[in-house]
Amino acid sequence: MTADINPTRRTFISAAALGIATAELSLLSPLTARAQSNSSAPAAASGLGRLKHVKAGVLNVGYFESGPADGIPVVLLHGFPFDANAYADVAPLLAAKGCRVIVPYLRGFGETRFLDAATPRSGQQTALGADLVALLDALSIPKAVLAGYDWGGRAACAVAALSPDRCAGLVSVNGYAVLDLTRTSIPQPPERELPAWYQFYFLTERGKAGYTKYRRETNKLLWKLWSPKWNFDDATFDRTAAAFDNPDYIDVTVHSYRHRFNQVAGDPAYAELDKRLATLPVIGVPTITLDGADDAVVLPNNGAAYAAKFPARKAHRIVPGAGHNLPQEAPQAFADAVLDLLPARG
């Protein structure tokens, strides 16, 4: 059996209490607290539900919740440089079908905060996965359908791979999102290096300083480049751009990309998870993979290259008219993928 992906406390998780991995392999269960609503926080786009906060692992996670409390749990995970508002039109579609919809801000974004100033501001993929399991534990959710893209897709894939008994089903944009860190430093043809220019920018101190100063301008440019057919307006961007003012946003972002290219060490708290994820394990849960037909950063394909990673995959779909920010650009298609994974009720 696989270990739980959460490494936030130096005690093993009780398999009897949580029904997950063996105690020998369980990695450090989360700090938990009762979720509290926050009525003083600024409003996000309509449809996300109420903004709440809960202590989960090393974070105080800001998240939105909608739908019936006893509904099938669905966790929707945003990417970079986006935020929970990416699901403003997806969440109500799922809530209307009886799902309990949870939409968190990832570490470094929006309303989510670190609990301890001493915690490394890591953006490595296993940290994102551990945060997700900690959130499930804090909300007393044994298992959920996980759906995400970009960073959020990576977190969902990490949990589905390492803690499959926490994942009832997976929707992953751009397929198998687990990074093979042994290959990230291999040069690619120039036409593939070009869309990743921002990653190389973040590897330099000049780039970090430039991004700190021009984070909104840079991110707005990335939105335009990655989704060339998405005609978003200033209000849509500004609603998300507030999430980039999180005090840890720059440090988490820069660490994520420097770690990706093996330029900095990861947080040692996730070392064991890093070793396990480095084997690029298969994901055996029911899965639907998606590509945006007009995604200009991760080009759409037929899914054959990573089909072996998803032995239980139900479908691969290319979504017309959608770019990289697929759930915000094509909310019905994204919601349909989630709904197609739900077990029949009644």
Q: In this predicted model, what pLDDT tens digit does every residue of 231-258 receive, in sequence order?
A: 999 999 999 999 999 999 999 999 999 9
Residues sharing a CB contact under 8 Å with residue 203, sequence separation 6 or more, in sequence order: 257, 258, 261, 263
Smallest Cα–Cα separation from 283: which of 308, 304, 306, 309? Answer: 309
DSSP 205-265: HHHHHHHHHSHHHHHHHHHHHH-TT----HHHHHHHHGGGGSTTHHHHHHHHHHHHTTSSP
Residue type, position 119, single letter: T
Determine the Cα–Cα distance for residues 46 and 99; give it in Å rounded to an integer.
17
Smallest Cα–Cα separation from 4: which of 113, 147, 136, 116? Answer: 136
- What are the angstrom distances between the C-alpha of 117 and each of 6, 137, 247, 311, 325? 19, 23, 11, 41, 32
**CATH code of the domain made up of 15-339:** 3.40.50.1820
pLDDT given for residue 346 in this prediction: 42
Cβ atoms of residues 27 and 38 within 8 Å: no
Rg (CA), the chain: 18
- Banded model confidence at residue 343, pLDDT cuts 50, 70, 90: confident
Cβ atoms of residues 74 and 97 within 8 Å: no
Q: In this predicted model, what pLDDT tens digit does every residue of 63-87 receive, in sequence order?
A: 999 999 999 999 999 999 999 999 9
Determine the Cα–Cα distance for residues 242 and 112; give it in Å rounded to an integer.
12
- Whether this prediction's pTM lies above 0.95 is answered by no
287-292 vs 59-66, strand pairing mode: unpaired
Phi, psi of 239 (to 5 degrees): -60, -40
Q: DSSP letter at 30?
A: P
Q: Which residue has the higher pLDDT, 343 or 149?
A: 149
Determine the Cα–Cα distance for residues 37 and 111; give it in Å rounded to an integer.
12
Angle separating helix axes 249-260 and 205-213, nearest 10 degrees: 150
Q: Which residue has the higher pLDDT, 205 or 20?
A: 205
Q: In this predicted model, what pLDDT tens digit does every residue of 148-183 receive, in sequence order?
A: 999 999 999 999 999 999 999 999 999 999 999 999
Smallest Cα–Cα separation from 138: which of 86, 102, 110, 85? Answer: 102
- Banded model confidence at residue 5, pLDDT cuts 50, 70, 90: low
Tokens coding 194: 């070009």
Three-state secondary-structure class, residue 8: coil
Q: Is the pLDDT of residue 259 over 90?
A: yes
pLDDT given for residue 236 in this prediction: 97
Q: In this predicted model, what pLDDT tens digit does every residue of 84-100 receive, in sequence order?
A: 999 999 999 999 999 99
Tokens coding 4: 């739980």
Element (H, E) at 191: helix 190-193
Three-state secondary structure readout of 154-177:
HHHHHHHHHCHHHEEEEEEECCCC
Q: Which residue has the tokens 């840890």?
A: 248
The fraction of the chain above a pLDDT of 70, given in percent, is 86
Q: Is the pLDDT of residue 17 over 50?
A: no
| Weakest-pLDDT range from 26-30, 105-109, 214-218, 269-273 | 26-30
Residues sharing a CB contact under 8 Å with residue 303, sequence separation 6 or more, in sequence order: 175, 289, 291, 313, 316
pLDDT given for residue 75 in this prediction: 99
Q: Which residues of 111-148 are buried (b: 16+ CB within 10 A; e: fewer)?
A: bbbbeeeebbbbbbbbbbbbbbbbbbbbbebebbbbbb
